[in-house]
Amino acid sequence: MEYEVMSAEAPGRKQVNILGATFEDGKPSGEECGRWRQKLNSRSEQLKYLETAERYWYGKEWFGSEKRKNPA
């Protein structure tokens, strides 16, 4: 991968080199991309997947300022 390098003036200095974007575009490819429902066999597996993905809402453990001794 070839990096993009730009030249610009910096305050108190003359010319400096600035490194541009160092990542590759993460575009998904393929026909099966994004089809998570077909990869899971049963409804219970799909619900478990969603609860894991949305653990902020479904989880019982809380961290930081949201931690409480008694649940609301």
Query: Residues 4-59: pLDDT tens digits?
Result: 888 888 888 889 998 888 887 777 777 777 787 888 889 999 888 888 888 777 67
What residues contact residue 9 under an 8 Å CB cut-off, 6+ apart? 15, 16
Residue 72 pLDDT? 64
Q: What would the two tokens of residue 42 be?
A: 């049963």
**Local structure of 26: helix, strand or coil:** coil
Residue 22 pLDDT? 84
Q: Are 46 and 37 in contact (CB under 8 A)?
A: yes
Residue 26 pLDDT? 77
Residue 44 pLDDT? 92
